[in-house]
Amino acid sequence: MTAVTVEAFKDYLKKIKSYEEALHLMAWDLRTMIPKKGMDQRSEVIGQLSETIHTLKTSTEMKHFLDELPPQVEDDPVMKQLLKVCQKDYDRDSKIPTAEYTAFVTLRSKAETVWQEARENDDFSLLAPYLEKLIDYNQRFSTYWGYHDKPYNGLLDQYEPGLTTDVLDPVFEKLKHALSSLVSKISASSVEVDAGQLLHYFPKDAQRAFSLSVLDKMGYDFDAGRLDETIHPFAIGINQNDVRVTTRYDEYDFKTAIFGTIHEGGHALYEQNIDPAFAMTPLAEGTSMGIHESQSLFWENFVGRSQVFWESQYKTFLSYAPEAFQTIEFTEFYKAINEVKPSFIRIEADELTYALHIIIRYELEKDLIQGTLQVKDLPEAWNDKMESYLGIRPTSDTLGVLQDIHWAAGDFGYFPTYALGYMYAAQLHDAMSQEINIPMMIQSNDFEPMKAWLIEHVHRHGRMKEPLDIIKDVTGEGLNPSYLIQYLTEKYRAIYGWD
């Protein structure tokens, strides 16, 4: 048995992180560049690596460190938190049999590949048997963790520690009611917003060039990252000095790539600016997916969709845009990129109806995990909720239940963090506004003060602080949807002009 010292423990964690880095690199390649014939074997390799990581995290050696080290680090707050995080991970991971975990990881890698095929063929039935097995694994895992009556809470806790449906349900009900009311007011408005004028051919290379210029202004470190193309955009931290961003291009709707890139860039800024002292430990990660989403949505919506952002960037934008965009009046352009119109695709949704997409998925996956909804009935249930909440009904699986990769990746409990992050972002934006003149910074093309504020209050802490502690320390209160509701009300009253 290895000697129980702080240095030995750090070396052990470095070994785990080394395997995780290889795993993340393979995951990035699987979603971006791998040849189609390589996908099956890559899924098996990912499963084997995941098994090794799971074994290391749940080994008797890890338990020995966790049992014996606490007295040695009583006066070291960083080491105390590191042990706390590792203990929580150990308690969760050790309750899952290694063989089951390996089978689950291999299955979800294969399911991601099948998901792509299902989308190409617009055929949910291809994915359905994989989804049934993934749901079964998630149900069992949550039971192993002790969540017998409400297994969905165990899945939520993976992505947002401490969050339960008892907390989230009333918050989402309040948000859903407020958003529905705003959609009704916009529908009744006499103001016309013509987003169709933006649907001109915009070459992929030109979109990429403008996207890179925006990432640069945000402060994304290109020496520690890169921008690539994928079906479903994501950001992934290989390590703090290698944080990669991906996007998806639509040559007849530039908004998909531009706002997608800004969104993933917000994630990347978080990962790039965690305290370097936490490198090669579990502290060098985002504290929760809700906090992570707060960073991406802060940049995408509160900055990237603001009027002052486009006032400051419009000349640059036009330098990349085709001739068809040159005659669009700025005021009409700004309204057009902020059009509120219920749509099928979540990642292309306007910022007002976006959270309704998340609430739909939250309600569906709760029912799937609780066993009150069967996979075979999922497409119809999806379409029914889309029609009920957004007034539109998907005409295909690709526009409906197949549009997101998350369930194929086994990530149940993840979706709520998107809306949670949106609410966090509104609270952080309000707190930042009390210290920084945000519009003036954006207008002057000086994003550094905003980035520095987020680094100080959010990024640098990694997992050193719990998510709700970050929000409470910065804003003085817990989760509060009122800030998001107020932001959306004021912005869209100005655009659509209701009393």
The annotation status of 263 as a binding-site residue, yes or no, is: yes
Question: For residues 389 and 362, what is the distance between their CA atoms, to the nearest angstrom?
Answer: 13
- DSSP bridge pairs for 247: 229
User: What values do phi and psi take at 235, rounded to 5?
Assistant: -120, 145
> Of 33, 30, 32, 158, whose CA–CA distance to 106 is shortest?
30
User: What values do phi and psi take at 321, rounded to 5?
Assistant: -80, 150
- DSSP bridge pairs for 229: 247
Helix (H) / strand (E) containing 247: strand 242-247
The answer to whether residue 264 is catalytic is yes
Quick one: tokens of 44?
Answer: 């098996």
The annotation status of 406 as a binding-site residue, yes or no, is: no
CA distances from 345 to 193, 198, 341, 467 (A): 20, 18, 11, 29
Question: For residues 474 and 457, what is the distance between their CA atoms, to the nearest angstrom?
Answer: 7
The catalytic residue among 20, 264, 339, 363 is 264
Strands 242-247 and 235-239: antiparallel
The annotation status of 192 as a binding-site residue, yes or no, is: no
DSSP tag of 378: H
Quick one: tokens of 73?
Answer: 């680090």
DSSP string, 132-159: HHHHHHHHHHHHHTT-SS-HHHHHHHHH
User: Which sequence positions are flagged as catalytic?
Assistant: 264
Q: Provide the annotated binding site.
A: 263, 267, 293
Q: Provide the annotated binding site for Zn(2+).
A: 263, 267, 293
